[in-house]
Amino acid sequence: MSDGTLTRPGAPVLGRRALLRGSLGLAAAAALPLTACSGDEEATDGRLRMGVAGAALETLNVPVASAISDYVTMFALFDPLVVLRGEDVVMRLAEEIEANDDATEYTVRIREGVEFHDGRPLTAEDVRYSLALLADPEESPNYAQFYADLDRDGLEVLDPLTLRVPLMRPRADFVEAGLATFSLVFPDGTTGEAWEEGIGSGPYRLASTDSGGRVLERNDAYWDEPAVLDEVEIVSINDAETRMNALRGGQIDYAHAVSPANAAAADDSIEIVRGGTSDSGFLALHMNTTLEPFDDPDVRLAVKLLVDRQAMVDTVLHGQGTVGNDLVGQGLADFADDVPQRERDVEQARELLESAGVSEVTLRVAELVPGMTAAAELLVEQAAEAGLTVRLDEVAADTYFADMETLMSTPFQSLYWANRPAATHVAGFTGERGGFNVTGLSGGEYDEMLDAMQATVDDDERREALAAIQHYLWEQGGDVVWGFAEQLDATVPGVSGIEYTQALPRLDRLSMS
């Protein structure tokens, strides 16, 4: 089994072991099975039942899926070209990725001998179809943001295992900010009802599905180390408290995303698994900088100043988290840790709000993860101290991301996202091309800074440009990142091999004793 390599402009060729450098919590463990195909850990019999949050509409239609249950299932059924684990870019189906001198074109070479579940060989034509579909804003509203600069019509199959990937502008960060974020590969021509068959090249196959969940069975023909368990049953349980009760009652063996309160109160009959910094999420209040009253930078600053971040972490996360500083990527590569920590200043916040004539706002919130409603309720109290009335608009969690138009046009909302390296985050969540730019920050000076950073092929110069962008976001942005919550899962004793990809549990190394 050969090491995957990534060739960046202005940088040496990096083998997979170089890409897996460093150790951040469980991200280090996640890297181990990828460095060799020794087969030290043999597949064992067993079936594990995992409870995860679902949605009103669950689907395996990759471009439109949005439920956690869908994501967990899809990452078991389909393989990505590359994947982001913590701050590391790890090769999977891609064996080598090479950029030209100005980062306007990439050559992707895929592994030989990979087969889909139905026996078809995986080729560059499948990769071409997958990237073109993921980059189509009409067909792929969730992921097109990561491929806004991809020239879909120019994708060219050079041979059965090689694909030419042209871009519409220089993107030296294309692998980290695009491919590594989401690059699942599916068979050429997959459409309509064929999605629900779940035909991929991943470590598990789809055995059955019903209204209560899905059953996955080990793919013994997998190109990498086979999965450990015979079967994994994915059970949709939306409420975190209900998932924990199901675990205690023996209905499931693994509860994904439990509340900090439940984690703090767990006894010896429950094992709590902590994701660490590399597998955490950030909790934020997003102010849309294009809509009143948050188009006024003084109002945005006032909200940032009135939030008691430490109280949020202590109360909502039960102390099981870290205070945020209005920037994403904390604890990961290239984070601007020289930015001063924002401190609470109620009096200054009051003065700014009075000067702007703002006394009332509405916050849209859903219990997307445990504690978000409690955080909103605590914000109501904190804002009142600065003379600001915050009214809550509570909506259903299972439909929150289904309404993209509302998501992108809400003046003030509370959201939870996976903590990703700063370069990855700014590419998808800020700027004119950012598909999830819920703060609306774009245009003029900012887009010039972002475009210049992404086109810079020298790694050191690109880091300097990224640092300047983070300083700008801290001063002018619409994000109040008040805290980071590490991924908290719960299992019965004996479950092991838990590894994550962007805070999602990988199923292939899971085992039970």
Copy the structure tokens of residue 173.
């960060």
Look at the pTM and tell me if it is higher than 0.85: no
Residue 293 · residue 356 · CB < 8 Å: yes
Residue 372 · residue 414 · CB < 8 Å: yes
Q: Give yes or no for residue 43 having a pLDDT over 70.
A: no
3 state DSSP class of 296: coil
Q: Which percentage of the chain shows pLDDT scores above 90? A: 74
Q: Taking the CB of residue 193, how many other CB atoms lie within 10 A of it?
A: 7
Q: State the maximum Cα–Cα separation within the chain, in Å, rounded to a whole number.
A: 67
Residue 82 · residue 179 · CB < 8 Å: yes
Residue 415 · residue 324 · CB < 8 Å: no
Which is nearest to 64 in space by CA: 144, 146, 132, 131? 144
- Tens of pLDDT along 400-450? 887 888 999 999 999 999 898 999 899 989 999 888 899 999 989 999 999
- Tens of pLDDT along 178-201? 999 899 999 999 999 999 999 999
Residue-averaged pLDDT of the chain: 89
What's the CA gap between 11 and 88, in Å, rounded? 16
- Enter the DSSP assignment of 178: I
Measured in degrees and rounded to the nearest 5, phi and psi for residue 295 equal -75, -10
Q: Residue 7 is which amino acid?
A: T
Q: Give yes or no for residue 268 having a pLDDT over 90.
A: no
Which is nearest to 223 in space by CA: 468, 33, 393? 33
Q: Taking the CB of residue 407, how many other CB atoms lie within 10 A of it?
A: 16
Which is nearest to 60 in space by CA: 191, 237, 188, 221? 191
Residue 402 · residue 291 · CB < 8 Å: no
Q: Which residues contact 461 (CB under 8 A, 6 or more apart)?
A: none
pLDDT attached to residue 45: 62
pLDDT attached to residue 212: 75
